[in-house]
Amino acid sequence: MAPGHVFWAIFYFACLCSASLANNAKVNFREKEKKILDQILGAGKYDARIRPSGINGTDGPAIVRINLFVRSIMTISDIKMEYSVQLTFREQWLDERLKFDDIGGRLKYLTLTEANRVWMPDLFFSNEKEGHFHNIIMPNVYIRIFPYGSVLYSIRISLTLACPMNLKLYPLDRQVCSLRMASYGWTTADLVFLWKEGDPVQVVKNLHLPRFTLEKFLTDYCNSKTNTGEYSCLKVDLLFKREFSYYLIQIYIPCCMLVIVSWVSFWLDQGAVPARVSLGVTTLLTMATQTSGINASLPPVSYTKAIDVWTGVCLTFVFGALLEFALVNYASRSADRAADMHRENMKKKRREMEQASLDAASDLLDTDSNATFAMKPLVRHPGDPMALEKLRQCEVHMQAPKRPNCCRSWLSKFPTSPFKKVPCLGRGQCSRSKRIDVISRITFPLVFALFNLVYWSTYLFREEEED
């Protein structure tokens, strides 16, 4: 070939390449997307009312795979037994009618914002109370159509869901709240929901809840059968553990302090009636107010909760301290009446003894007509009170000494010890009021400590058994 012909052949080939590159550079892919959407979704070509075919174009049910991204959990209400959650919800299925040419891999997917343009699964949240979409600044929803006909639907929604709770162990309880998703009209013969393989549920990191901790979550299936057929259903179980530190500071420690303050009454003098009454009534009213405030934050349930047992026993201890003062006051007044009666009897006996002494002296000084003294025999008369008293003292001194008890001797050093001998007043009336106070100082703390041991061991073990 002549050199001139080679030059012109190379020049012509270079012009063709430059023209081809210029044409490719001028391709408008957005225009291509519009044409493809018009082709696959045009009138008479695609009907959104018809569900996609099954696997490999069969007449089986359409398979829809679901995954969730939990963005936040706002509130968990014990009164309403519900919780609020914000999540990104995604569905993915295959619709072979939506296949298109990807222009050599340059067009990865088509994007839509109108869900009514394509067929959508009729999924609903079966335990939903309230819900809404997010439209700021634009509706938070998109649909992606991939070249091989796969459709991805994603939307951000906020839901308030019902969460039936068992509050028998409140506030040492754990609650399981579910998120249920089911088909409303399509039976399992037409539509089946499946969890996406791998990690179907993701939770945002550093999720903070006011009074709970999200321990774990589980995915499961919950298909339901009704008179109209069987419907596909998916559920997510969220396991929440209640934070006990809040209730320890706000409820348990204040109740313990109120019970201990009510015991101060045992150390006050039994004659300080205004102080003991004021202390008992104040602690009782404060404890009642605390109990009513706790019950106001909980739903009225038919069973007894752990917090009910605690507040009920604490209220009983405070009320018992008030009743103890009433018993002490009654015993003190009874002792005073016995003391008054004892004083009157002693005065009466003293007068009788003085009269008897005068009579004896007059008999000794009495002389007969011969001026001789009458001698009286030195014998004990049956009714002589002085002789009886001396005989009683002799019997006391002649009794054998008892063996000393170490505990009693140590406790008798305290002025208010129940083992210390106190002077009797009247017929066996001793200082019972003081002994009641001393016994209460020991009994009330011991019984309350025993109750704490039984309470915490019982409910903590029950919590572990439920886990």
pLDDT in tens, 96-125: 989 988 888 788 889 888 888 899 999 999
Core vs surface per residue 148-159: b (16+ CB within 10 A) or e: ebbbbbbbbbbb
Q: Which residue has the higher pLDDT, 459 or 422?
A: 459
Task: Measure CA of the first residue to CA of the last residue in the chain; give whole Å.
Answer: 91
Report the share of the chain in percent with pLDDT over 70.
Answer: 75
**Rounded Cα gap, residues 126 and 128, in angstroms:** 6
Taking a C-beta distance cutoff of 8 angstroms, is the pair 142, 154 a contact? yes
Q: Count Cβ atoms within 10 A of the Cβ of residue 406 and give its class: 0-12 exposed, 13-18 middle, 19 or more buried.
A: exposed
Phi, psi for residue 155 in degrees, rounded to 5:
-150, 150
pTM confidence score: 0.70
- What is the predicted pLDDT for the residue at 466? 62
- What is the predicted pLDDT for the residue at 58? 81
Residue in 56, 270, 46, 66 with CA at minimum distance from that of residue 180: 66
- What is the predicted pLDDT for the residue at 423? 45
Mean pLDDT of 142-155: 93
> pLDDT tens digits, residue range 206-216?
888 888 999 99
**Rounded Cα gap, residues 34 and 42, in angstroms:** 11
Taking a C-beta distance cutoff of 8 angstroms, is the pair 180, 238 a contact? no
- What is the predicted pLDDT for the residue at 233? 95
Mean pLDDT of 331-349: 66
436: pLDDT strictly greater than 90: no
Sign of the dihedral defined by the CA atoms of residues 417, 423, 425, 427, in that order: positive
Q: Count Cβ atoms within 10 A of the Cβ of residue 88 and give its class: 0-12 exposed, 13-18 middle, 19 or more buried.
A: middle
**Rounded Cα gap, residues 356 and 362, in angstroms:** 10
Banded model confidence at residue 419, pLDDT cuts 50, 70, 90? very low
Taking a C-beta distance cutoff of 8 angstroms, is the pair 199, 112 a contact? no
Mean pLDDT of 179-208: 92
